Amino acid sequence: MNVNFTSLFVLIALFFVGCDSSSETGLIEEPPVTVTKPFTQGSLEMGVFSKDVDLGKFVGKVDFSRPDVKKQFEELLASDPESKAIFEVVENVGKNNPLAAFALTLNIAECTYYIKDDVVLARAQGFGWHMDNYHNKAQDKGSIYHETVVQTDKIPDQDKQIYTLYKPSENAGAGASNDLDLSQFNRKMKWGKHNVLGYECDVIVYTPKTIIKDAPLQLQQLVVYTSPLFNNTMNFTHPFYLIEDGGILRLDIYYLDTKEPTIVMKPIEITERTLTGQELISRTASPVYTQDDLSWGFKALAIMMSGWRELEN
């Protein structure tokens, strides 16, 4: 039995300067540099966007070691331009679909992928929580670590850090935060390439075979950008697990029937460098849960919601 509880959380087109603006300055737009060398080791700073607004900008603005989380939140909405822009986007999405807005709030996060050959460790920070998502293709090993940084008595101390292990060969999508039954989707590759920070990518579009009009929230379209220069081990730690040969550098997620994606996950910076040993080691906790353990699922959900629950106080 595989209970993917993180699916309860539901976690940009590039804007180019037009010809007119180039002619006004007398400058000619330089084409992006194309990388041809395989990426074998380094880090990717991943951003989560909606309407060109970086949702991760809110992470770190609230100090959860203090007891006045709600007051901090309200002050940020009143005076911080980045915070105001983020929640204006959430509010506008909510006018079309409240569940889509809920998905946005739970995707207020920032993440760094550490990659070496066929090993990846994705370290994410959200609103009151940290997570390590690890995948080692050669060892057939995957793990997920959750931790709340909220000072709360609503979660027992022994449940504030939890850890689960799984075998990707037996449960490939366990590391993803959303279940996706690929048999219910059409897959089509678009013509041409798309450059993502210098890496030429194939563009693949997934669309549901059936649209359920009265569904409270349905994935309308998923566009993925894959590069053969990246090991597809990184695909195991994305919000959706998709069977693609190349590494997925970008995902455009459409929860609304609109021209623009609801959520975009894409790299802000790609850095080739030698990693330290610690950068590929996930944090752990005891006991070690299995993915089909119901208690692990509820504990993970409590951690992911711990920051938002402080706003109820």
Q: Tens digit of pLDDT for each residue in 237-280?
A: 887 778 899 999 999 999 998 999 999 999 999 999 999 989 99
Q: Is the predicted pLDDT of residue 7 greater than 50, yes or no?
A: no
**Could you check whether the bond before residue 287 is cis, i.e. omega within 30 degrees of 0?**
yes
Domain positions in the chain: 45-312
| Contact call for residues 203 and 223 (beta carbons, < 8 A) | yes
Phi then psi dihedrals of residue 69, to 5 deg: -60, -45
pTM, two decimal places? 0.85
Q: Which residues contact 88 (CB under 8 A, 6 or more apart)?
A: none
Q: Tens digit of pLDDT for each residue in 210-245?
A: 888 888 888 899 999 999 999 998 988 887 778 899
| Contact call for residues 291 and 173 (beta carbons, < 8 A) | no
How far, in whole angstroms, is CA 266 from its chain's centroid? 9
Query: In angstroms, rounded to a whole number, what is the distance separating the alpha carbons of residues 141 and 266?
Result: 25
Which tokens go with 150?
A: 């909220």
Which tokens go with 57?
A: 């900008």
Q: CA nearest 101: which of 111, 87, 115, 90?
A: 90
